[in-house]
Structure 1
Amino acid sequence: MGNTKTVAIAGAGVFGLSLAIALRARNYEVTVFDQHRYDETEYQPGCDDQVQAASVDHNKIVNLSTNTDRAIWLIDDFQFRASYGTKLHYQRLAIESRQAWVALNKTREHSGVDRGDLFVNCGMLRVQPSDQLGALEKETLANMEQEGLRDTQFVKSDPNDRERARNLGWDHKLLDFAIPGECPPKSFEAVLDSLAGYTKSSEACARFQKTAAAQGVTFRFGHEGKLESLVEEISPTSSHRKVIGLQTKDGVLHKADVVVIAAGSFSTQLLPDLSYQLESSGGSVVTFRIDKDDTELWEKYSPEKFPVITWKSAKRTSDGKDIGSVYVSQELKTALSKLAIAFTNFQPAPNGTPFTQHDQWSIPLPPKESQYVPQQAIDAIRTFVSIFLPEFEDAPFYSTKLCWYTDSLDNSFVVDYVPTYAEKSVFVCTGGSGHGAKFLPVLGEHAADILMKGEESSSYMRQFWRWREDLPRRNGLEESPDSPRNIGGLIKTVGSVVVIGEERSCIPKLIIAKEDPARTRTFETGITTLKD
């Protein structure tokens, strides 16, 4: 471990928590900083209107390829899967993580305090774009075969798979959905992944935070935890700056041998050196309410009877890109659906930002403005609902919001030392790209090994998570502020009211659900239309 003994981690989400526990197990002195009072809210959504962290969500999909009302949530790309096409390293990591979730479930079963599974193995139905298997699905099944996992996958049209599903009790989740407008009628092909399900993200983060604290990790929340700046000094051995700690909002300097940036979609603002590799994007979240007295719907969409559903709504493009994913999942109190349309918010970048596009970069909207969902996402959600959740086709939304993610240039995480700082004084652990939450139990083990050993790390993820300014910007990061996904400059707060700003072409309409009277008054209107 050398002389590195103290680590300050900025960010108490999935990445920060997982790394903190792994480093503490290796005898590091670890302090985690976060501006939000997770010690009070226990990561529960809705407890703090200022929280925008993607970790603070009811649940995340685990795709390995009560007396309260239930809500159907429609959210953007947040999944936990082992089905990664040709990316065997992520498939391997997902299987490793699933084993850890199952072990956690067993631990909770024998606990007098923690009860209920953090991972719910309800299965995932991967619905195809047509009545045939898509190219990505064929790659996934081939890799499952290679890894000895093909028996966990059930192709709907395969008689042998259907028989095996019946024998194992999975056949009732091989659901049949008609393709709209087909004559004669056809149904979508689908594959049921019996390894998959979802995790209770907020509950899991709260559990890991308490575990970390019990193991000796120090937490500073609120003003005491809000990172104001990195504290630098001249390095005697390098022309680069050396960071010796961080200063928080309360003016206190916290010295550390290594400062880790694990702040999700706010990482680029804390460390602009990441501006080429990462970009903030807003995923669309809407909810439908199921009344607790509607026992028929409550039962139909229970995890015992209804799987997570992912629909690849469009075929692979000519350049090999897979697009158009839509997701739905559920739990005892909340059913979640996830829609893969992410929007950007380009704003003027600070002077000196290493990488910008027309002097702009995409960062999260403020919390109040993030209550809006672009019409492009709403239209895709409504199409999805009409096919897979027909009871809600004409139902009003219960709530809407944008959940802010951290997209990387190739959809892989960024876990490495920052080369522009001397003596390995700054480390980054971020870039979840909408699929990081499911790795909470194991991500930190790999990240800690990289922090300790650098290029000598034995983690099989090392080469994929390295600092990657040498790669081209893809995964949507190649798009400029002129992209139709950019909603920057369109909404802003004036006083206590959110208003529409500058009108521009090619911009989708924005919509907000009337979640409650107070919020409706704040936003003044239910639907706002922008001119094309």
Structure 2
Amino acid sequence: MPPRLLQQPPQYQDLESIDSGTRLASSNLLRQSQCGGIVDSDALGRSAAVSSASQVRPGISMMASPRSVAIVGAGVFGLSIALALRKRGYRVVVFDQEPYDSTAYAPSDDGLSQAASVDHNKIFRASYGTKLHYQRLALDSRAAWLALDAGRLLSPCGMLRVQPTGELGSLERETLAGLARDGLRDTQFVRGDAADRARAVDEGWDAKLLAFCDAEGRALEAVLDSLAGFVRCSDACAFVQRSAASEGVEFRFGPEEGAFDSLVEETESSSSSSSSTPQKRVIGLKTKDGTFHPADTVVIAAGSYSTQLLPELAYHLESSAGSLATFRIDRSERALWDKYAPDRFPVITWKSAPRAQDGRDMGSVYALPRTPEGLVKIGYRGIKFTNFQPAPAGAPFTQQGEWSVPLPRAECSRIPPPAEEAIRTFVSLFLPEFRDVPFYSQRLCWYTDSLDNSFLIDYVPVYADRSVFVCAGGSGHGAKFLPVLGEHAADIFEHGDASASFMRPFWRWRPDAPRRNGLDEGPDGPRNLARMGDWRRAGP
């Protein structure tokens, strides 16, 4: 019989599948004070107790003795699964080419990093339309963040979802319906609803239920989501890395001893078949310094580099870039400093219109409150830019012999003209004080898109004996799940199709799924930076 959590329909349209104990715990935590104290170093492991992720059979292991796991990538996905596997008794070593032991994940002064996890802040939301399984996972994650340290790692400042017109869009209506089914409609405030506006006043949210108009002066509808906010992503990664190290996870950082060079394979004949077809079995990995690191299983959690390290992932995943720009407020600018503080200003998201045939999209822009350093970040994902280059010979999946890979770090310090245009339009409407202010910084942030926006967390079937596992495909929305993702991934790692994780049907290896989410476009698509001319020389 399938585990209890997998007995529900795969779409999770019936949120009664969330047991009453979990719902009660989540509801209580959602309404806790936004103030909290610093937790001790192993609180992250204990936080699973307030999440339904704790129901994924911790301690039930199929291994006879502790097995060794090598994880490539020390970002959100790699850290989360590393800690969860270590708590289940595995010997875990994590490799990353970045010197996080010295930088502690702090964003560099130039704002450039090849890792999406290295960032001041990432949006936290539970608004997923009809994808109620992700809504559920986000609510579990929010409760876990609050148990860790609501004041430092998660800022529940709210998020204002501004609509394209004066009416609620279809996705917004679906989101409100989904939250209502989970008993959380009262956490949402629709600006055009008089009762919601009155509740916002009563509950102290009215100052963030802001009013905006489009360029023609027409009022835009908006919904203030009091469940949402942002995660201090770099701080969170540093916190989890320290927690993992204290639990016994080993780390190898740097461009030599931490940098992946290759998988080390052992070829053997299949014993489960009468044929002598060779099967690849990985016995460890080699780093750039030439050292062989034996492991029973290698986990690829390398973000936008995952396909380059393991070409077998290329059908499922594609590297793409979001566009980020910042303004910097000096403390002496007291009015702006106060206005854009998290306790006064929400996250704002806006999608003005569907993407046009030529790839242009003036919406799909967001802004976050200022950081303690005074940075106001604006992000654009309306066009998820690709960079198609020749794929290596023998790559199992390419498009016209090419695949998308991240640009070199030095070439990521400007954003393409369509992104700058979209951000400037957004700024003129929503952040008018910065209308004529030059950007403090710009950068392309490279993500890993999956073919359907769901993560890819499973064994790679072309490798024998479960010797290679993938944990990637965050698709621009993975950071918020850091406290709970690892428990789900670790249960899938141990139990495969018998996993109790309710995310198992969505994260599995999906070779027959159509390539959507833009992955069908290929090098001739409108998002390919390699065909946009010398856009990096444009502008000042």
* TM-score of the aligned structures, taking structure 1 as reference length: 0.85
Correspondence 1:235 to 2:268: yes
Q: Quote the Cα distance in structure 1 between the aligned partners of 2:525 and 2:486.
A: 35
Aligned mate of 2:121, from 27, 49, 59: 59
Match of 1:224 in 2: 257
Q: Aligned partners of 1:154, 1:35: CA distance in 2, in Å?
A: 44
Q: CA deviation at 1:275?
A: 0.4
Q: 2:325–2:377: 8 Å Cα contact kept in structure 1?
A: no
Instruction: Confirm or deny: 8 A CA contact 2:458 2:470 kept in the other structure.
Output: yes
What corresponds to 2:81 in structure 1? 19
Asked if 1:169 corresponds to 2:204, the answer is yes
Kept in 1: contact 2:325–2:379 (CA 8 A): no
Are 2:297 and 1:258 equivalent residues in the alignment? yes
Paired position in structure 1 for 2:162: 127
Pick the aligned partner of 1:87 from 131, 137, 151.
131
Residues 1:99 and 2:139 aligned together: no
Q: Which residue of 1 aligns with 2:23?
A: none
Letter in 2 for 1:475: N
Q: Which runs of 5+ in 1 are unaligned?
A: 63-80, 107-115, 489-503, 512-524
CA distance in 2, matches of 1:195, 1:344: 32
What displacement does 1:289 show?
1.6
Provide the C-alpha distance between the structure 2 equivalents of 1:526 and 1:377, rounded to a whole number of angstroms.
13
Residue 458 of structure 2 contacts residue 507 of structure 2 at CA under 8 Å; is this kept in 1?
yes
Partner of 1:158: 193
**2:334 aligned to 282, 292, 295, which one?**
295
Find the aligned partners of 1:402 and 1:98 in 2 and give their Cα distance.
Answer: 28
The CA deviation string for residues 269-314 of structure 1, in whole angstroms up to 9 with x for no partner, is 0000000110001111111121221101111111111100011211
1:77 — aligned with what?
Answer: none
Q: Match of 2:428, SS? A: helix
Confirm whether residue 371 of structure 1 aligns to residue 406 of structure 2.
Answer: no
Does residue 336 in structure 1 map to residue 377 in structure 2? yes
1:283 counterpart (319, 322, 326): 322
The answer for unaligned runs of 5 or more in structure 2 is 1-61, 272-277
Residue 149 of structure 1: which of 157, 168, 184 is its match?
184
Deviation track 1:60-87 (CA, whole Å, cap 9, x = no partner) reads 011xxxxxxxxxxxxxxxxxx2100100
Query: In the aligned structure 2, how far is the partner of 1:372 from the partner of 1:273?
Result: 31
Distance 1:403 1:220 in 2: 24
Please give the secondary structure, in 2, of the residue aligned with 1:527.
coil
Task: Write 1 or 2 for the structure with the bigger share of helix.
Answer: 2
- For residues 345 and 201 of structure 2, the distance between their equivalents in structure 1, rounded to whole angstroms, comes to 16
Cα offsets for 1:8-67 (capped at 9, x unmatched): 0000000000000000110110000011110100011116987310000111011xxxxx
1:271 maps to 310
Confirm or deny that 1:416 pairs with 2:437: no
Match of 1:179 in 2: 214
Answer yes or no: is the 8 Å Cα contact 1:134–1:315 preserved in 2.
Answer: no
CA distance in 2: counterparts of 1:48 and 1:287, whole angstroms: 11
Q: Aligned equivalents of 2:158 and 2:112: distance in 1?
A: 33
Q: 1:211 to 1:416 in 2, by over 3 A?
A: same
What is the one-letter code of the residue matched to 1:103?
A: A
Q: Distance in 2 between matches of 1:220 and 1:310?
A: 38
Local SS of the residue matching 1:16: helix
**Residues 1:381 and 2:423 aligned together:** yes
Q: Does 1:451 align with 2:476?
A: no
Residue correspondences, number: 465
Q: 1:314 to 1:50 in 2, by over 3 A?
A: closer
**Partner of residue 221 from structure 2, selected from 181, 185, 189:** 189
Distance verdict in 2 for CA 1:317–1:48, change over 3 Å: closer
CA contact (8 A) 1:33 1:226 kept: yes
> Could you tell me which residue of structure 2 aligns to residue 66 of structure 1?
none
Correspondence 1:405 to 2:451: no
Q: Is residue 2:243 matched to residue 1:211? A: yes
Q: In the alignment, which of 425, 428, 431 is matched to residue 470 of structure 2?
A: 428
- Does the 8 Å contact 1:44/1:203 carry over to 2? yes
Name 1:2's counterpart in structure 2.
Answer: 63
The alpha-carbon distance between structure 1 residues 50 and 298, as it changes in their structure 2 partners (threshold 3 A), is closer
Matched letter for residue 332 of structure 1: P
State the match for 2:39 in structure 1.
none
The residue matched to 1:235 in structure 2 has which SS? strand
CA distance in 1, matches of 2:313, 2:355: 30
| Superposed displacement of residue 323, structure 1 | 9.3
Could you state the TM-score of these two structures normalised by the residue count of structure 2?
0.83
Residues 473-484 of structure 1 mapped to structure 2, 5 A cutoff = 473-484=515-526
Match of 2:286 among 241, 247, 250: 247
Aligned to 1:327: 366
Amino acid at match of 1:2: M
Structure 2 residue 349 is the aligned partner of structure 1 residue 310: yes
Residue identity in the other structure for 2:209? L
Q: Which moved more, 1:260-269 or 1:276-285?
A: 276-285
CA distance in 2, matches of 1:172, 1:256: 54
Please give the alpha-carbon distance, in whole angstroms, between the structure 2 residues aligned to 1:510 and 1:202: 30
- 1:362 aligns to what? 404
1:374–1:508 contact (8 Å) kept in structure 2: no
Question: In the aligned structure 2, how far is the partner of 1:308 from the partner of 1:508?
Answer: 34
8 A contact 1:375–1:508 mirrored in 2: no
CA distance in 1, matches of 2:110, 2:411: 15
- Give the % identical residues: 62
Whole-Å Cα distance in 1 between the matches of residues 306 and 221 of structure 2? 40
Bigger shift: residues 233-242 or 82-91: 233-242
Task: Tell me, in whole angstroms, the C-alpha distance in 1 between the residues paired with 2:356 and 2:444.
Answer: 27
SS in 2 for 1:373: coil
- 1:210-245 deviations in Å (ceiling 9; x for gaps): 110000000001111111100000235453200000
